[in-house]
Structure 1
Amino acid sequence: MKNILDQIVDQKRIEIKQKQQQTSIEDFKQSSFFTQKVRSAKASILDPNKTGIIAEFKRKSPSKGFINQHANIKDVVSGYEQFGASVVSVLTDEDFFGGSFDDLNEAKQILNIPILRKDFIVDEYQVYETKAIGADLMLLIAECLTKDEVFNLAKLAKEIGLEILLEIHSEDQLEKVNEFIDLIGINNRNLKTFEVDTEKSKQILKKLPEDLIKVAESGISDPEVVKDLKAAGFQSFLIGENFMKNENPGNAFQEFVNQIK
């Protein structure tokens, strides 16, 4: 029986084939965003005037269904930026996470900080697409890519000016880190079982290359956990559901930030 990650990747490959019939890579290269220089997530995370938090806009998840179906993205992400987010992450997967390119586009219209496209990138077509829709940073998930695939996708992303966040979950995925990666995230949540374990993340952290920005991802709801992970050596924290489950995610973000100062 396939786990949820396998199901998502299978669906993503079907989507890509359908999209290729409508929009070509050459079409992407004509986008107004394609030649623009991206905003650096690395620089924004290291900015002492910001929190280091990658604040996520997420309408739903495969495990919990809708979290905040009717949230207004401009209201949410403007709150994130106002109260110190370093980066905003926007889900663009529609079937499993309720995201869309429209969400990312609306965020792009008002934000002055970098945007991470959060999706399941498995094909070069999506790399060009990511730049064309205005994202600054692209997620690669080691769990669903081979070492060579991570290398080729990251290399292409760098060639067209994107930054790359590589997400890993286990020590055996460290071999997939390469010279084109800018940030490395350790997902506290196992994508196959959805169990959360921050202690395991701290153990993997000790084996990461020193020159990469380290991001703790998923399952973070307690400001004390952020303090603990920061003390362990993490520089950034990807948090979404904890804010999005509130009626006003921007206010929830502000309250969280006040507790980690």
Structure 2
Amino acid sequence: MAVSSQVDIADTQHTTQNTQHTTHNTKHTTQNPQPTTHNTKPTTHNTQHTTHNTQHTTDYKMNILDHIVADKRKEVDFKKLIIPVSQLEQSVFFERATVSLVNKLQHSSSGIIAEHKRRSPSKSVINQNLNVFDVAKGYEDAGVCGISVLTDGKYFGGSLDDLLLARASCQLPLLRKEFIIDTYQILEAKAYGADVILLIAAILSKEEIKQFSELAKSLNLDVLLEIHDEEELHKSVMPSLDMIGVNNRNLKTFEVSLDTSKHLSTLIPNDFIKVSESGISNIEAIKALQPYGYQGFLIGENFMKTENAGESASTFIKDLLKY
């Protein structure tokens, strides 16, 4: 609210200043004062207004996770009222034997985890025309190791129905890509056919990571922990994790650099499968990261921005294996 108020105030000041400028021009008709000195004021104000807008954009980027988490807490509280845990536990998928993504990555030549993602806060709309059932089938035919399915609706355009459709379409391990902040969401993941959950260190305490990962393991779900820096890594390493994913996207600037994966690789214990996320758009990126011990590579936008995500993944993997 503070930012909005500042914008309103700035606009009011700008209007007042323009009024003064008009009055001055009326006097100018009879008195011919020097116009150049006066005209510098509106220019200075516009520069300040532009600076303010730039700061507003930066603040939005820095606070995007806070906004998402706040919305997610409201969403989860509402879902608990509609579908109790006892109902989730009655799902036909709750007793289903899960498929290990860890095992797939350990025995893969490509290590590709392909993603279904319609849009994102950083890229806006990516592709809203592709059917998740067809995408999942196409990814499976292409030979990917697993599929990441975005289930957040407000910011990524996904849903739990997407997870169900992907489960009906293929036999691959499915990662529920979600902002998990409550044990309820882990039970949801199991009930809707997921094999893997994502935990994001940036939004969880060490105690929450321990609680959530241990619950996931009790449900035979693999756990992928996402980190962005050394601090998140050091607070998060624990036996109940299976994979550690390094997100190459800076959450404050949205800029992407593979150097993040390279730097953190030496700090990740060899007990965990290393996964690199974001900014992997070509074969050269994968080849550059493999010497650092990475066995998994999460790719979303690169496939989803095309008309046929499955074919794009197939071509990518074939070229990768030839490299």
Q: For this structure pair, what is the TM-score category when the shorter chain's length is used for normalisation?
A: over 0.9
Where structure 2 has 5 or more consecutive residues not aligned to the other structure, the ranges are 1-58
Where structure 1 has 5 or more consecutive residues not aligned to the other structure, the ranges are none
Correspondent of 1:188 among 222, 232, 248: 248
Matching of residues 222-233 of structure 1 within 5 Å: 222-233=282-293
Matching of residues 124-135 of structure 1 within 5 Å: 124-135=183-194
TM-score normalized with structure 1 length: 0.97
Q: Is the 8 A contact 2:227 2:245 kept in 1?
A: yes
Is 2:261 aligned against 1:201? yes
CA distance in 1, matches of 2:106, 2:114: 15
User: Match for residue 177 of structure 1?
Assistant: 237
Q: Is the 8 A contact 2:200 2:225 kept in 1?
A: yes
Counterpart AA for 2:163: L
User: Match for residue 94 of structure 1?
Assistant: 153
CA distance in 2, matches of 1:150, 1:192: 22
Correspondent of 2:90 among 22, 27, 30: 30
User: Match for residue 73 of structure 1?
Assistant: 132
Count of residues paired in the alignment: 260
* Runs of 4+ deviating beyond 6 Å: none
Deviations 1:130-164, CA, capped at 9 Å, x for gaps: 11111000000001111111111111111122110
CA distance in 2, matches of 1:157, 1:236: 20
Q: Is the 8 A contact 2:134 2:169 kept in 1?
A: no
Correspondent of 1:145 among 175, 198, 204: 204
Q: What SS does the corresponding residue of 1:235 show, helix, strand or coil?
A: strand
Counterpart AA for 2:265: L
Q: Is the 8 A contact 2:160 2:192 kept in 1?
A: yes
CA distance in 1, matches of 2:252, 2:93: 35
User: Match for residue 272 of structure 2?
Assistant: 212
CA distance in 1, matches of 2:203, 2:254: 15
The CA deviation at 1:221 is: 0.6
Question: Whose helix fraction is larger, Structure 1's or Structure 2's?
Answer: 2
User: Match for residue 21 of structure 1?
Assistant: 81
Q: What SS does the corresponding residue of 1:79 show, helix, strand or coil?
A: helix
Which protein is bigger by CA-based radius of gyration? 2
Counterpart AA for 2:121: P
Correspondent of 1:108 among 167, 185, 196: 167
User: Match for residue 115 of structure 2?
Assistant: 56
CA distance in 1, matches of 2:307, 2:191: 32
CA distance in 1, matches of 2:149, 2:252: 22
Q: Is the 8 A contact 1:44 1:113 kept in 2?
A: no
Q: What SS does the corresponding residue of 2:262 show, helix, strand or coil?
A: helix
TM-score normalized with structure 2 length: 0.78
User: Match for residue 258 of structure 1?
Assistant: 318
Q: What SS does the corresponding residue of 1:155 show, helix, strand or coil?
A: helix
The CA deviation at 1:116 is: 0.2
Identical-residue share of aligned pairs (%): 48
CA distance in 2, matches of 1:117, 1:247: 23
CA distance in 1, matches of 2:87, 2:261: 40
The CA deviation at 1:177 is: 1.6
Deviations 1:217-242, CA, capped at 9 Å, x for gaps: 01111110011111221000000001
Counterpart AA for 1:100: S
Deviations 1:15-43, CA, capped at 9 Å, x for gaps: 01111110111111111111112111111
Deviations 1:69-124, CA, capped at 9 Å, x for gaps: 12111221211111110000000000000001111111101211100000000011
Provide the aligned C-alpha RMSD in A. Answer: 1.1
The CA deviation at 1:198 is: 0.7
Is 2:300 aligned against 1:240? yes
